[in-house]
Amino acid sequence: MTAEQIIQQILFFISAALTLGSAVMVVATRKLIQAALWLIVSLFGVAVLYALLDASFLVVVQVVVYIGAIAILFIFAVMLTQRDQRDKGPQLNKSWVLAALVGLATFGGLTFLVSSWTGFGAAAAPIPAGTVDMVADLGTALVSVDQYVLPFEVASVLLLAALIGAIYVAYNRK
Amino acid sequence: MNFWNDPVAFIADWLSGIFAGWGMPEFWSNLLVFAIGIFVLIAAIMVVDIFLVWIERKVVARFQDRLGPNRLGPYGLIQPFADIIKLLIKEDITPRTADKVVYNLAPILSMSSVLILWAIIPLAPLAWGVDLNVGVLYLVAAGAIGALSIIMAGWASDNKYALLGAFRQVATMISYEIPMVAALLIPVMLAGTMSMQGIVEAQTFGEPGVWFILVAPLAALIFAISSIAELGRSPFDLNEAESELVSGYHIEYSGMKFGMFYAGELLHAFTFGGFWGILFFGGYSVFGLETLPGLQWLSSPFIAVFMILVKALVGYWIIMWVKYTVPRIRIDHMLAFNWKILVPLSFTLIMLVAVLNKLLLGYGTLVYVAGMFLANVLLAIVTIMILGAYARRQRLAEEAALQIPARAAGD
Amino acid sequence: MIPLSWYLILSAALFSIGLFGVLARRNAIAILMGIELMLNAVNINLVSFWRYGSPAEMSGQVFAIIVFAVAAAEVAVGLALVISVYRRRKTVVANEIDMMKW
Amino acid sequence: MPNPWVFIGLFIIIAAIIPIGAIVVALILGPKKPNPIKQSTYECGLETVGDSLVQFKAQYYVFALAFLIFDVEAVFLFPWAIAMNKMPLYVALEGVIFIVILVAGLVYTWRKGALEWV
């Protein structure tokens, strides 16, 4: 193994530890604002994983959408409802032991499922030579009529529905 | 390899030669050379930042008919160093109720969110941090980290004013991010790439090969307005609002931590001056003169770096000009201006440019540039006419509402 | 050299942590955070299958972007519901939101 | 350099180390004489009243919501903008349809009065 590959593995372990550790903090922290900040750390760890996977576009999209918009929305929502934060009381409901068992079972089941699949230990496919700008390929795939133009337009309708629905629910003046 | 044609590669080669002489593997020596390069670049930016403090104070003094710093050194040039020494030996006061970790993290994030922008700025034809193929979105992502640092500072200070200031500032930043992203889409569309290097090259050597300010003047204007809002500078400095909120989200910060917010703000403005230059004014190109025969020497990296710094300074000067001329506006006006004028306008502009760009590209440079320019101007005129009509209707309605009771009182 | 299995196990672990958050937290906003973690786990899977499967085709990345849109829509509507309920009932605890219960 | 993010990662680390260094130097050089008055919350010299976590207007949430939706829209539009140069005219029209659908959402929000700051 070359030094570069070892560094890659170390980076993977660091970002995996960052992601999983802060994900645990998200579900375990008492103060909700701190949970939101841990969520940001976890999402950033996922962005580093995307960088390791050579998905440049998704790295910046992860930061722009998740950290820049979704996390800010969470923080705003926490601030708006903080009269009922109840940070002192128990943050987990009565059946949390059952929930932990379900979580562990899911993890075990998923790991068993994927490890019995043939492609489990696959090595990374080489990036085909000649792909200069992967983002351009992505754009072409999104708008070509024989590829993903329908999902592209449907995403617009989905966002429209979400905007109208959320405004209708959150904004009931009078 | 000639030093004068490509100094960065020359020095990098020289350094890796030295490291190879020490028996270092190629991978590590490359990494070390990169680290040294980044360190030198950031150190240079910090030195520029120190002089920005001096420029800012000198320029604001001239705008307000004062002299500005003039005691320490010629023209007060040593003043910023005295400021730094003062910041370094000040006591660091942390409020008792503050969330210590988040409180200390916020100024660091604020400064680094600006510094990391310099990783993608093309300084010269062969000198840039990294030619990222998602450079434009990286700019937006760094802005997201900046917004996060503000909300962290406001919350961790455990102070009403700080939290109110942070909320106002973040509401401004996220609202104006929409027209900014929309305005950024237009250079991307014209250049066909998101890399900053590609955008600069498209303006000099591309298909029409003209500065994008000529093709999309309205996009440049929208980007200018929304980036001033993103910077939180006057007229959009509701976060500070000295008279109401004392100084917004950094009210509880003192000493070097406050200095980080302050220096970060100045450097942010300067950096955005640089991005105006890169996206709409040809970046490091010398007015396109270097493509002419006999003037090839103008594409020398040293002239290029000088040009980009000059363009950034001019942009910074315009931001200061706006800041010290225009009074602060109210938050409802500010948000209404964004959501009711800038956002619809920028979306209309995207659609217009997308279709016209496809239609006009086959008809030669002159028709293309003139058509795009006129379309932009026409859209701007239509917008101004609609706004004028709306304002007239509002005024008439208000006057009518005022006149009825006035007449009743007179009779 | 990172084998595909590492990413798959990481994503399974992230999914399970998110699932635990959804099932165990009392606060409705915290439940939505758990859902975000689960969606991120899905995205890691999609992107790593793209990278290890066929990087020449952009399907994996397109799917991941659609998941971003879905996540945004889910958060927007979910948090709007939480805020709306909070306005009427002054509570964000999921168990106490029982208006639809017979 | 195959992966530009190695460079960005190094850049981010060094860009974080320099402000940390400045703050640490200031901590070492500066005086350290804390007292309760100095460390209390600053509110123009008045005593702090009540919790600092004040209740915020729901309006902030509405703007953040609209921002989130249009931000995701922009994420879809960037690949479209890049691909457009090499594609025929109908691709530009696809993007126009995409924008028009979302502008309908903006119009709805506007007509509902959710964009007013009351």
Tell me the per-residue pLDDT of D69-82, one tens digit each, with 9 for 90 and over: 999 988 888 988 88
Of B312 and B282, the one with more pLDDT: B312
**pTM of the prediction?**
0.89
Which residues of chain A lie closer than 8 angstroms to B145, CB-CB?
Answer: 63, 67-68
For residue B22, give its domain range: 1-89
Name which of B186-190, B219-223, B327-331 the model is least confident about.
B327-331
Whether chains D and C touch (3+ CB pairs under 8 A) is answered by yes
What is the number of structural domains in chain B?
2
For C4-63, the DSSP string reads HHHHHHHHHHHHHHHHHHHHHBSBHHHHHHHHHHHHHHHHHHHHHHHHHS-TTS-HHHHH
Of B250 and B38, the one with more pLDDT: B38
Q: Is the pLDDT of residue B352 over 70?
A: yes
Helices (H) and strands (E) in chain D, counts: 3, 0
Residues 6+ apart with CB under 8 A from A146: none
Chain B residue with the nearest C-alpha to that of D103: B344
Say how far apart CA B65 and CA C11 lie, in whole Å.
Answer: 62
Domain D4-112 has CATH 2.70.98: no
Answer whether B274's CB lies under 8 Å from B315's CB.
yes
Q: Is the pLDDT of residue A174 over 60?
A: no
Query: What is the identity of the amino acid at D79?
Result: P
The answer to whether B141 contacts chain D (CB < 8 Å) is no
CA distance A108 to chain D (A): 33
Sign of CA dihedral B34, B35, B38, B44: negative
Query: What is the identity of the amino acid at B188?
Result: V
B26 and B98 within one domain? no
Domain coordinates in residue numbering, chain D: 4-112
Chain A residue with the nearest C-alpha to that of C36: A39
CA distance D70 to chain A (A): 8
CB-closest option in C72, C80, C87 to D72 = C72
The answer to whether C68 contacts chain D (CB < 8 Å) is yes
The answer to whether B34 contacts chain D (CB < 8 Å) is yes
Both tokens assigned to B131: 């030619």
Of B360 and C91, the one with more pLDDT: B360
Both tokens assigned to C22: 């959804």
Of B296 and B30, the one with more pLDDT: B30
Please compute the mean of the pLDDT values over residues B173-188 and round it to a whole number: 91
Answer whether A50's CB lies under 8 Å from B134's CB.
no
Closest CA to B196 of B108, B265, B130, B113: B130
Which residues of chain A lie closer than 8 angstroms to C16, CB-CB?
Answer: 103-104, 106-107, 110
Which residues of chain A lie closer than 8 angstroms to D64, CB-CB?
Answer: 69, 72-73, 76
Residues in chain C: 102
Say how far apart CA B248 and CA C21 lie, in whole Å.
Answer: 35
Beta-carbon separation of A95 and C24 below 8 A: yes
CA distance B140 to chain A (A): 7
* DSSP at B72: S
Say how far apart CA B271 and CA B331 lie, in whole Å.
Answer: 26
Whether chains B and A touch (3+ CB pairs under 8 A) is answered by yes
CB-closest option in D56, D66, D69 to A80 = D56
Picking from B65, B89, B113, the residue at the C-terminal end of a domain is B89
Picking from B46, B73, B89, the residue at the C-terminal end of a domain is B89
Which residues of chain C lie closer than 8 angstroms to A91, CB-CB?
Answer: 25-27, 30
The answer to whether B28 contacts chain A (CB < 8 Å) is yes
Beta-carbon separation of D58 and C76 below 8 A: no
B35 and B104 within one domain? no
B332 and B270 within one domain? yes
Name which of B60-64, B354-358, C34-38, D36-40 the model is least confident about.
D36-40
CA distance D83 to chain A (A): 5
Query: For testing the chain B interface, which of A72, A76, A137 should be mutated: the one with the most B CBs within 10 Å?
Result: A72
Residues 6+ apart with CB under 8 A from B151: A72, A75, B166, B167, B170
Whether chains B and C touch (3+ CB pairs under 8 A) is answered by no
Beta-carbon separation of D78 and A139 below 8 A: yes
CA distance D112 to chain B (A): 13
Distance set, CA B150 to CA B169, B172, B261, B324 (Å): 8, 12, 9, 23
Say how far apart CA B347 and CA D55 lie, in whole Å.
Answer: 34
pLDDT for D44: 64
Coil, strand or helix: which one is D114?
coil
Beta-carbon separation of D69 and C76 below 8 A: yes
Residues 6+ apart with CB under 8 A from B176: B225, B226, B229, B230, B236, B338, B342
Which residues of chain B lie closer than 8 angstroms to A71, CB-CB?
Answer: 148
pLDDT for A38: 93
Say how far apart CA B183 and CA B185 lie, in whole Å.
Answer: 5
Tell me the per-residue pLDDT of B32-83, one tens digit each, with 9 for 90 and over: 888 888 888 889 888 888 888 888 888 888 888 888 888 888 888 888 888 8
* Residue for token pair 């193929």: B133
CB-closest option in B112, B158, B192 to D15 = B112
Which residues of chain C lie closer than 8 angstroms to A84, CB-CB?
Answer: 86, 90-93
B320 and B341 within one domain? yes
Any chains having at least 3 CB pairs less than 8 A from chain A are B, C, D
pLDDT for D1: 46
Domain coordinates in residue numbering, chain C: 4-96
* DSSP at B73: S
CA distance D84 to chain A (A): 8
Torsion (CA) B145, B149, B155, B161 in degrees, nearest 10: -120
CA distance B204 to chain A (A): 21
Q: C25 — phi, psi (to 5°)?
A: -75, 150
Which residues of chain A lie closer than 8 angstroms to C97, CB-CB?
Answer: none
The ipTM estimated for the assembled molecules is 0.89
Mean pLDDT of chain A: 83
Which residues of chain A lie closer than 8 angstroms to D78, CB-CB?
Answer: 135, 139
Both tokens assigned to A37: 């900040």
Which residues of chain A lie closer than 8 angstroms to C10, CB-CB?
Answer: 16, 19-20, 49
Query: For testing the chain C interface, which of D57, D65, D71, D108 should be mutated: the one with the most C CBs within 10 Å?
Result: D65
The answer to whether B94 contacts chain D (CB < 8 Å) is yes
Chain A residue with the nearest C-alpha to that of D107: A164
Angle, CA of B21, B25 and B31, to the nearest 5°: 100
Tell me the per-residue pLDDT of B99-152, one tens digit each, with 9 for 90 and over: 888 888 999 999 999 999 998 888 877 767 778 888 899 999 998 899 899 888
Mean pLDDT of chain B: 84
Name which of A18-27, A44-53, A146-155, A157-166 the model is least confident about.
A146-155
Beta-carbon separation of A68 and B147 below 8 A: yes
Tell me the per-residue pLDDT of D11-59, one tens digit each, with 9 for 90 and over: 899 989 988 988 888 888 888 887 877 777 776 666 666 666 666 777 8
CATH fold for domain C4-96? Helix Hairpins (1.10.287)
Q: Is the pLDDT of residue A39 over 90?
A: yes
Query: For testing the chain B interface, which of A1, A60, A87 should be mutated: the one with the most B CBs within 10 Å?
Result: A60
pLDDT for A42: 93
Among the four given CATH numbers 3.55.50.30, 1.20.140.10, 3.40.1160.10, 1.20.120.1200, the one describing domain A3-85+135-173:
1.20.120.1200
CB-closest option in C65, C69, C80 to D65 = C80
CB-closest option in A144, A152, A162 to D76 = A152
Residues in a beta bridge with A92: C25
CA distance A73 to chain B (A): 10
Both tokens assigned to B399: 């006057």
pLDDT for C36: 92
CA distance C99 to chain A (A): 15
Residues of chain A with pLDDT > 90, as a percent, come to 26
Answer whether C64's CB lies under 8 Å from A67's CB.
no
Say how far apart CA A124 and CA A134 lie, in whole Å.
Answer: 17
Beta-carbon separation of D112 and A168 below 8 A: yes
Say how far apart CA A47 and CA A67 lie, in whole Å.
Answer: 10
pLDDT for B221: 92
CB-closest option in C18, C25, C56 to A91 = C25
pLDDT for A83: 64
Any chains having at least 3 CB pairs less than 8 A from chain C are A, D
Burial (CB count <10 Å: 0-12, 13-18, 19+), residue B44: exposed
Which residues of chain C lie closer than 8 angstroms to D69, CB-CB?
Answer: 72-73, 76
Which residues of chain C lie closer than 8 angstroms to A142, CB-CB?
Answer: 58, 62, 65
Coil, strand or helix: which one is D61?
helix
Distance set, CA B294 to CA A30, B5, B6, B298 (Å): 70, 16, 20, 9
